[in-house]
Amino acid sequence: MKQLTCYAIALALAVPATAFAQDSNVDVFFARGMNSKEIRSSITGDQGVNYMLSVRRGQVMQILFSTTRGSCYFNVWEPGNPDSAIHIGSSDGNEFGVSPTKAGTYRVQVYQMRATARRNETCRYSISFEVTGEGSSGRPTAASGPSEVAKGACLYKIGVDAAIEQTSALRPGYWEIIMQAKSGNRKVACTVSDSGVIADWVEMR
């Protein structure tokens, strides 16, 4: 009985702390013309972060992870399979690659183990994402431009009379819209979803 009790305690301490906490979600975007991005951040206690990265079918994806303080890990779930991680950082290590990718959104969870989370420790980390290759969407042909809802959300947020100069597809359902104020030299880049949710806003000048 004592042996079983010790085993149960050890198993509980090995469970990711985020199994008991609410993770925050972060969409990963690459700057125009780039195919990689590095993020440096930290988590404390039972905090967790889900990085959401959308890719096309047939691409090559690489994830590299390192810590500068504390001990934390990352797991990966592929599109269409939310119940079983394809990479467990605590046992599989700090590198992950897949080729070819499936079309859709990969979820990359950064977390601490239960034992360190209970001590409210902080882990500082760096995680980098790289996606190469053209691939194919694996879906019906994408829309030729952002929805009217997306354009309206950006034009409303800028707060002045402005014109749309350029639109660029970033990933399925997301766009970069460049706007120029009709008076003055203000120029803004708005990253927005077809449903009108603004994910990024950059004052270019």
1 is a domain residue: no
* Residue 23: per-residue pLDDT: 83
For residue range 151-194, what is the model confidence (pLDDT) as tens digits?
Answer: 999 999 999 999 999 998 887 778 899 999 998 889 999 998 88
Give the pLDDT band of residue 2 (cuts 50, 70, 90).
Answer: very low
Residue range of the domain that includes 55: 14-132
Residue 61 and residue 87 in contact, taking contact as beta carbons nearer than 8 Å:
no
Give me Rg for the CA atoms of the chain.
20
Same domain, 112 and 167: no
5 is a domain residue: no
Domain boundary among 104, 132, 160: 132
Q: How many beta carbons lie within 10 A of that of residue 195, not counting itself?
A: 10
Same domain, 124 and 87: yes
pLDDT of 84 over the 70 cut:
yes
For residue range 149-163, what is the model confidence (pLDDT) as tens digits?
Answer: 889 999 999 999 999
As a whole number of angstroms, the distance between CA 177 and CA 8 comes to: 53
Q: Return mean pLDDT, the chain.
A: 84
Is the pTM of the predicted complex or chain greater than 0.85?
no
Give the pLDDT band of residue 137 (cuts 50, 70, 90).
Answer: low
Same domain, 97 and 56: yes
Residue 13 and residue 20 in contact, taking contact as beta carbons nearer than 8 Å:
no
Give the pLDDT band of residue 16 (cuts 50, 70, 90).
Answer: low
Q: Which residue has the tokens 């359902």?
A: 173
* Residue 22: per-residue pLDDT: 67
Same domain, 47 and 108: yes
Q: How far is CA 166 from the centre of its chain?
A: 25
Backbone angles phi, psi at 97, to 5 degrees: -140, 150
Q: What's the DSSP call for residue 56?
A: -
Same domain, 24 and 99: yes
* Residue 9: per-residue pLDDT: 41
Residue 186 and residue 178 in contact, taking contact as beta carbons nearer than 8 Å:
no
6 is a domain residue: no
Q: Which residue has the tokens 């952002």?
A: 146
